[in-house]
Amino acid sequence: MLTVACALIGSACWLTIATSIGLPVSTTHSIVGGTISAGIAAGGASGVIWGWNGVSQIIASWFITPVLARCIAAVVFIISKLLVLKVKSLERSIKNALLLVGFLVFATFSILTMLIVWEGSPNLHLDNLSGTETAVSIILTGAVACAVYLIFFYPYYRRKILDQDWTLKLVDILRGPVFYFKSTDNIPPMPEGHELTIDYYEGRRVEEETPRTEDEENKIADTVSSSSTDNILREAKDATVQETNLVKIEYSAEEKMTTRQYWWSLLKQGPKNGLC
């Protein structure tokens, strides 16, 4: 009990310090490190299971998980890109997107069920299930969740977005099956300024520039020309100042030389610097 308390205190202190200075830390990594350290302090290094059934498996998962997550994310993005983003027809693209959500619902609930079956509470006795029963429970749970989406949510959003039925409210999701058979001819015209969905890009778009008149173009050209001239004059002045400073530096260096050193340096420079 004391060992666990020390591990919790150590990980909590580290998380507090790291968070206060803005370090990207992981709670899982911290508690694992705290537990290992507390175990070593309590019973020595021999009291920690370093093999694959212990610490090694945890550390390996830290490297394997990002790679697998990257691969899965890449597959999902490619599918979304081909079925939704690359489709030229807007109507077809929206339909594909809504159907793709059903697939994602199936995958999400299946994965969550798998985690519950494998890592759930021992009181549920889920570890007594056979391999076939586990697979069936995982697929069945995902299928039920996907069916709920296709029966209630999919027809609701299809009618609201594609058919632009602005009269629908969130509670109308319960009427989802009806929308498969309900005609769209009786949808009233949408009022001006009404938005079907929330515009999350509002205030973040770059406003399109209005076409400039000929006078405005001439003013801009004159401004650019004058600014370019000013820049050229300024650069020439800066170059002159730099040359003057360079000459001063050379003169100051030459003043420190003896006569013999000065003439010897001129001989080394050659005729390009005005010796001959």
107 part of a folded domain = yes
Tell me which residue has tokens 């021999």.
46
21 part of a folded domain = no
241 part of a folded domain = yes
- Calpha distance 64→235 (Å, rounded): 56
Answer whether 95's CB lies under 8 Å from 162's CB.
yes
Domain edge (last residue) among 177, 205, 233: 205
Domain edge (last residue) among 185, 205, 225: 205
104 part of a folded domain = yes
Which residue segment(s) compose the domain that 262 sits in?
Answer: 214-273
What would the pLDDT profile of 136-181 be if each residue is shown by its tens digit? 989 999 999 999 999 999 999 999 888 888 888 889 999 889 988 8
Indicate the number of domains in the chain: 2
Q: Outline where 44-130 has alpha helix (H).
A: 55-80, 90-119
Average predicted confidence (pLDDT) for the chain = 78
What would the pLDDT profile of 83-133 be if each residue is shown by its tens digit? 888 888 888 888 899 999 999 999 999 999 988 888 776 777 777 777 788
127 and 194 housed in the same domain: yes
At 110 the pLDDT is: 93
Domain edge (last residue) among 205, 227, 242: 205
- Calpha distance 107→154 (Å, rounded): 16
Tell me which residue has tokens 């069916």.
147
| Reported pTM | 0.58
7 part of a folded domain = no
233 part of a folded domain = yes
Q: Please, what is the Cα angle at 210 between 207 and 214, to 5 degrees?
A: 150
173 part of a folded domain = yes
94 and 168 housed in the same domain: yes
Q: Please, what is the Cα angle at 93 between 87 and 97, to 5 degrees?
A: 125
61 part of a folded domain = no
98 and 144 housed in the same domain: yes
